[in-house]
Structure 1
């Protein structure tokens, strides 16, 4: 399998209309992969929030305009569902494996909590809201696929990541501490 992001900014315009050339490009990529015996695994979102999800919520930076906080706002859910619908309808036939959102924990913690990744915000409240909205977006995309595209037979998932914590010893306190750390690390999303 070859797992990659389909590039949301290449597939939809700010007005929500499809970019035919972008969809054709990915159809050609999928065909070339299959000719070589490689199964495409499509990821809808891997840290590249399209500017059209930001509406007027952009800030100037040395890199140009950057989304200031699209995943904090509930409106992102409607945008993500519309985007997923367009991708499923135009590219879904023949795709066996889908990831709705890749590494939501990292996006929430590093982009909105610690401010070390884009969009560089530092707010625990926003971090929690973003994580929640990403789980909601995942659920909406899965429900949409099951309702409208189940005949394609694809399997959908969310790609989770976390640190792994082992107990320092076999003592009950260390085992409990490691379990608590894993619950905090991964339990938010799993």
Structure 2
């Protein structure tokens, strides 16, 4: 295939399938990262509230207590989405706002999200709603969290309550966001909430997260949900050399980072390579679990940011071996758009039942976005987004059914363990004043939306 464009402009090439009128463009956010208002409206504490209070867990001791103050500024933020001309908006509903500890609904929390969804509908913007974006209520963690099988059933209860009240306003539901991060970062390496560090915990948590997806899918569909899926992060993997050891390392890394989630969802089994990576460690699978987990989805959300280059660790695993002289973001992640194209094409070959795809997150962080005379020049981000759009178009031409693209994220926000040091937004947030300033990337996306309307005549 041709090299990916590096033009400093946000526009798919002429003839790209991304110009088709039914292809959706949007931006995304997550509740804990933007809302604030942690003690308002009946919200109860989450594992991230607890984790942020742990000394040294988060850069500068920061937290989502205020974040972007979206809890009070939601109307202006939704109007901002509309001003960019976007087709869709991805948000998460905070479990801790919607469900009380006794399992009953919290009316104030449901009212809050209903107002947001009504405002989106007012603007003709489709709502893509995620149920679990890492903010597990602390009272469930106190009972074992994702190490407790019962938490999967509690996710289904949450899905039932949320979809009964909000379902008629939601275009698509995602049950879980990035189960790999929730399982591994939260339970394997311990760098995310709840801060546990044991591979056995990670494997068990993953199974319960996926089981929760299956149970929540059933609850959503029982309430008439038209589009139900799951969002997973994926990583392009390359071997540091063609030695058998390094190629094996890349195979194991791909099994962990990609197939650990996708195989059970789309093939109904965990990848055998995980037993090579973690000998003797397996989840507590009961009869019927895998059939429930592999319930056919209406779509799969794919989050993609970077490639990892790996080598053998000299044992039965892999180790990162960063490449020299490659473009990176301030997260240390290599910018490698071709990886998204190749992964999508590879998934189509590996999974005969691959459902339609939405790219539900794609973007880059910076640490030097500043407002100068009312403008934020983020040319690297524009190039990043542009090159990934080209990659998606190439995957579509190769036969992958991609239906939409969501830039991550709408706003600069609380970036988990990085606190507020890393800015992923296409809109700048001054955290002292809460002033929003669309960056050049947002304006480029707005111009693309205007060009697509002109080409398609959808709004003529």
Q: TM-score, normalised by structure 2?
A: 0.36
* Structure 2 gap ranges (5+): 1-87, 263-460
Q: Is the aligned partner of 1:132 residue 2:204?
A: no
In the TM superposition, 1:82-93 aligns within 5 A as 82-93=157-168
Match of 1:3 among 90, 94, 98: 90
- Structure index of larger Rg: 2
In the TM superposition, 1:135-150 aligns within 5 A as 135-146=210-221, 148-150=222-224
CA contact (8 A) 1:41 1:98 kept: yes
Q: What is aligned with 1:53?
A: 140
How far 1:186 moved relative to its partner? 0.8
CA contact (8 A) 2:157 2:216 kept: no
* CA deviations over 1:114-135 (Å, ceiling 9, x no partner): 1111111111111100000000
Q: What is aligned with 1:62?
A: none
How far 1:181 moved relative to its partner? 2.8
- Alignment CA distance shift 1:110-1:183 (3 Å): same
CA contact (8 A) 2:175 2:216 kept: yes
* Structure 1 gap ranges (5+): 59-68
* CA deviations over 1:83-132 (Å, ceiling 9, x no partner): 11111111111311111000110111111111111111111111100000
Q: Is the aligned partner of 1:103 residue 2:178?
A: yes
CA contact (8 A) 2:93 2:131 kept: yes
Match of 1:18 among 96, 105, 122: 105
Q: What is aligned with 1:166?
A: 238
CA contact (8 A) 1:15 1:52 kept: no
- Tell me how far apart the structure 1 counterparts of residues 204 and 236 of structure 2 sit (CA, whole Å): 24
CA contact (8 A) 2:164 2:223 kept: yes
- Tell me how far apart the structure 2 counterparts of residues 93 and 164 of structure 1 sit (CA, whole Å): 37
How far 1:179 moved relative to its partner? 4.1
Length, aligned pairs only:
174
Q: What is aligned with 1:184?
A: 256
Task: Say what the alpha-carbon RMSD is for the aligned residues.
Answer: 2.0
CA contact (8 A) 2:160 2:223 kept: no
Q: TM-score, normalised by structure 1?
A: 0.83
- Tell me how far apart the structure 2 counterparts of residues 98 and 32 of structure 1 sit (CA, whole Å): 18
Secondary structure at the residue paired with 2:236?
Answer: coil
Runs of 4+ in 1 over 3 A off after TM superposition: 171-180
- Alignment CA distance shift 1:180-1:119 (3 Å): closer
